[in-house]
Amino acid sequence: MTATIVPASTTQAAPVRRSARPIPTARLVKVELRKMFNTRSGFWMLVSIGVLSVIATGAVIIFAPDSDVTYGTFVSAIGLPMSVILPMIAILAVTSEWSQRSGLTTFTLVPSRGRVVGAKAIATVLVGLGSVAVAFAVGAVGNLAGSALAGLDTVWDVSLSTAPQIVLGDLVGMAIGFTLGVVLRASAPAIVGYFVVSLVLPGILELLALVREWFLDLQPWIDWNYTQVKLFEGATNTGEEWAMLGSTTTIWIVIPLAIGLLSLRRSEVK
């Protein structure tokens, strides 16, 4: 059915079209970064990274035996809480658009959802890098203070080849969270999902490897936790180990992310 309204009198000519320029990606990334931390939950996530880094450092200084007061101990102590919080930040960066329904505005201002998600991904990586830098810095301060308090020589035992692997390990965790966010598009299920794939799944795969011998060789190729832990230990060195990381990344990140993105671009934002 067609119905066209013809105004009784067209008093005004159509206004001249303004030549709007496309929104640059750098601006989108800046906006997404701001959005990650200008909510109450985002703010406390950020604060908790700092606070937990300091608590973990303090705990090492107080409780670690003298032989363990080394940079490596500090870095891994700080890395533990961070490896949990960073994926949460990645999840919420994506899912809040749906769970909090702010996507209605976001995707109206930027109709290209792929670009928005891309900007979120870049912002997430930047936050990851920044947080790990904080971890390394706080760890260094802790190491200096800890060894001075205990009257020990300061031991710097995180090699230059290990540090990037730790960074990569954190980014893998964030990527898993981001992927879950894109696929599930709801905060609570994505967070639960993250704990399932990071806490429950490794146990099941471990058990499977114990009872089924054929799976033992296969496990490093499909268990992303296994390859992530190797990264945190700085133990991904051979070509085969990197291939294993590539394999788990493809299975748990690349493929689901691609499928999730396809459905996200077509889905209805309500």
Residue from 153, 160, 211, 266 in contact with other proteins (CB under 8 A): 266
Q: How many CA atoms lie within 13 A of 153 on its CB side?
A: 3
Binders of other proteins: how many residues, by CB under 8 A? 48
What does the DSSP 8-state code read for residue 16? P
Which of residues 93 and 171 has its CB atom nearest to other proteins in the complex? 93
Which of residues 109 and 210 has its CB atom nearest to other proteins in the complex? 109
Distance in angstroms (rounded) separating the CA atoms of residues 54 and 78: 8
**Two tokens, residue 42:** 């985002």
Residue from 25, 87, 101, 189 in contact with other proteins (CB under 8 A): 101
Q: Which residues contact 175 (CB under 8 A, 6 or more apart)?
A: 90, 249, 253, 257
Residue from 65, 67, 108, 160 in contact with other proteins (CB under 8 A): 108
Q: Is 155 helix (H, G, I), strand (E, B) or coil?
A: strand
List C-alpha distances in Å: 104 to 11, 34, 99, 111, 211.
34, 18, 11, 10, 49
How far apart are CB 24 and other proteins at their closest, in Å?
A: 8
How far apart are CB 224 and other proteins at their closest, in Å?
A: 30
Which of residues 28 and 75 has its CB atom nearest to other proteins in the complex? 28
Footprint (CB under 8 A) of other proteins, residues 30-89: 30-31, 34-35, 38-42
What are the phi and psi torsion angles at 193 (to 5°)?
-55, -40
- Binding site residues, other proteins, CB under 8 A: 1-5, 7-8, 10-15, 17-18, 20-23, 27-28, 30-31, 34-35, 38-42, 96, 100-112, 266, 268-270
